Amino acid sequence: MLPALTITPAADKFIRRILCFSGLPAGAGLRLVVSAGGCSGYNSAFSAEAGPQPGEETLDINGLRIFLPAESRLLLDGVTMDFVDTPTQSGLQFINPNQAACACSSSGESAKAPPGVAKIEIGAIGRGRPAALLAS
């Protein structure tokens, strides 16, 4: 079952630029791997890919293809994906209206994020399998 994932115009533009400059053929998409954890509620990685891996499903939003493994599909239901670019942060953010804010005092910068927001830094962008998946 595919999640009810909302993508803001800013995130859509950012993802399309990644795919455009990836050098991959038409029909390529963004592999988005999300797992539970971290102070913000999510650990995430993404990469431009020619097609989905076995077991992944393709979410098509206005022609934008997003390849999602099973766990990511479960976690992203009802979430809004946005892109922010400010002097202090740049990257994709996941806004989950059902996520409570972290009460952890050791979270540092993460404690300042709005409730239910996970951030992926620009430096996490890669072509090919995310580094976290290479050890699998």
What are the pLDDT digits (tens) for 77-125? 888 999 988 888 788 888 888 766 555 543 444 444 455 555 555 555 5
Structure tokens at 72: 């990511």
Query: What DSSP letter does each residue of 1-62 carry, written as one string?
Result: -----EE-HHHHHHHHHHHHTT-PPTT-EEEEEEEE-STTSEEEEEEEESSPPTT-EEEEET
Question: Which range has the worst mean pLDDT, 16-25, 31-40, 88-97?
Answer: 31-40
Contact 13, 101 (CB under 8 A): no
Task: State which amino acid sits at residue 107.
Answer: S
Overall fold of domain 6-128: Hypothetical Protein Aq_1857; Chain: A; (2.60.300)
What per-residue confidence (pLDDT) applies to 92? 84
What's the distance, Cα to Cα, between the start and end of the chain in Å?
24
Question: Using one digit for the tens of pLDDT, what is the confidence trace for 51-77?
Answer: 999 999 999 999 999 999 988 898 888
Give dist(CA 32, CA 130) in Å, integer.
Answer: 9
Task: Average the pLDDT over 34-41 and give the result.
Answer: 69
Find, among 1, 2, 4, 14, the residue nearest to 80 by Cα: 4
